[in-house]
Amino acid sequence: MKSSGALVGADAARATERAKAAGRPDLPADLTLISLPGGEFLMGSDAGEGEPSDGEGPARPVWLSPFRMARTAVTNRQFATFVEATGYVTYAEEVGSSFVFAGLLPDDFPPTRGLLDAPWWRETPQSCWSRPEGTGSDWRGREDHPVVHVSWHDALAFCDWAGLRLPTEAQWEYAARGGLEGRRYPWGDDLTPGGQHACNVWQGRFPVQNDGEDGHVGTAPADAYPPNGFGLHNTCGNVWEWCADRFSATHPSGPLRNPAGPDWGERRVIRGGSYLCHESYCFRFRVAARSANLPEATAGHMGFRCAADAIADDLPTDPSRKETP
């Protein structure tokens, strides 16, 4: 197999050059970014609900400049527009396979390699963004679902083409909280407020029984549930979302201003959890929860959301407003 870094980097460069030559004429009209004011917020948690190695704590003050964040994760329709405009080939397509949750495969699916510590993942030939469960499956009919089987490098290529970027981890958490501080979820502390499902996660006994009480056993549409206080959809559950930062389980002492993560380490931060998360196994769909993966990793629950710097109209005009915490 070719070196993933050289392979994907070359593809990203070619895609970017083609997009620039075309003047980016076909940006998805539904790729909506919401302007967020930034300021100080409390990042992380001291509740002790996560794995110590995840580095959720300590809760620490962080200050952010104004920025913009996409209303939803990038959808299959949006990613298809990118591929059509640029001819981009994802890492999973080049490799010829990706990992799919076994419960989404047919009962007669032939034996393939699984993961030693997570045998419910199956390496599935031909699975990629356009064939989420491999041969015979299709993204069509799921146009509004988040794109999956995208590596960190693939996400960067899309962002570069669109003139956007991946959010920093601090920006992601600030946006995901929707203005609430110290709460477990974007809407509060109760997983099912008023008895209603507010996100797409596993119900039942993981990994053998998914009751699908929320109406979904795989991905849900990217805007399937009510938005948080900032107008963002599905910042808990559905698909993991890549962030720009490298991962570390320790954090510099605060207060921090526009942190961008460490400048060392191979793994990249992922946030938000997925449709496979359950409190008994992976309680990482809380807004403070975090995890990481290798930048070339792909799977059927890995997606991303775009961000961008603030535009001039978003910036404060009051000269008395302070720019530091």
pTM for the full model? 0.90
Cis peptide before 58 (omega within 30 of 0): yes
Give 227-241 pLDDT, tens digit per residue. Answer: 999 999 999 999 999
8 Å CB contact between 237 and 76: no
Give 36-76 pLDDT, tens digit per residue. Answer: 999 999 999 999 999 999 999 999 999 999 999 999 999 99
Q: Which two structure tokens, joined as six digits, stand for 85?
A: 């405009």
8 Å CB contact between 242 and 49: no
8 Å CB contact between 311 and 35: yes
CA dist., res. 20 & res. 18, Å (int): 5
Give 76-87 pLDDT, tens digit per residue. Answer: 999 999 999 999
Where does residue 260 rank: exposed (0-12), middle (13-18), buried (19+ CB within 10 A)?
A: middle
User: Quick one: CA torsion of 97, 235, 304, 57, rounded to 10 degrees?
Assistant: -90
Higher pLDDT, 168 or 120: 168
8 Å CB contact between 237 and 277: yes
Give 93-151 pLDDT, tens digit per residue. Answer: 999 999 999 999 988 888 777 776 788 899 999 999 999 999 999 999 999 999 999 99
Q: Which two structure tokens, joined as six digits, stand for 271?
A: 């946030």
